[in-house]
């Protein structure tokens, strides 16, 4: 009977460790799933930022071109050349 007791104990220990491993793998699976969801959200946010930056740059260039018409820029360049 003494030979079956250690085997039973070893089996119980093995089952306990496999249970812990299964729980760890389930937690890791959930964490990976959450990470994938966060990556998807990040991709959406980055695309929105790219669009916003493009629109903002277009607005900036439009305002800059209205504030600095080409004639004024040419006059400023001519004035700089005459000072040199």
Query: Using one digit for the tens of pLDDT, what is the confidence trace for 24-35?
Result: 999 999 999 999
* CA gap 59, 27 in Å, rounded: 47
Residue with the bigger pLDDT between 58 and 7: it is 58
Mean pLDDT of 62-71: 83
User: Counting every residue, how long is the chain?
Assistant: 84
Query: Using one digit for the tens of pLDDT, what is the confidence trace for 3-22?
Result: 566 779 999 999 999 999 99
Kindly report the pTM of this predicted structure: 0.56
Structural domain spans, the chain: 4-83
């Amino acid at each position: 009977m003494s030979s079956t007791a250690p085997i039973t104990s070893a089996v119980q220990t093995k089952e306990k460790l496999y249970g812990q491993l299964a729980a760890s793998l389930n937690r890791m699976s959930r964490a990976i799933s959450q990470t994938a969801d966060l990556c998807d959200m990040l991709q959406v946010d980055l695309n929105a930022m790219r669009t916003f930056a493009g629109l903002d740059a277009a607005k900036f260039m439009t305002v800059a071109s209205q504030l600095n018409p080409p004639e004024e820029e040419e006059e400023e360049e001519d004035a700089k050349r005459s000072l040199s």
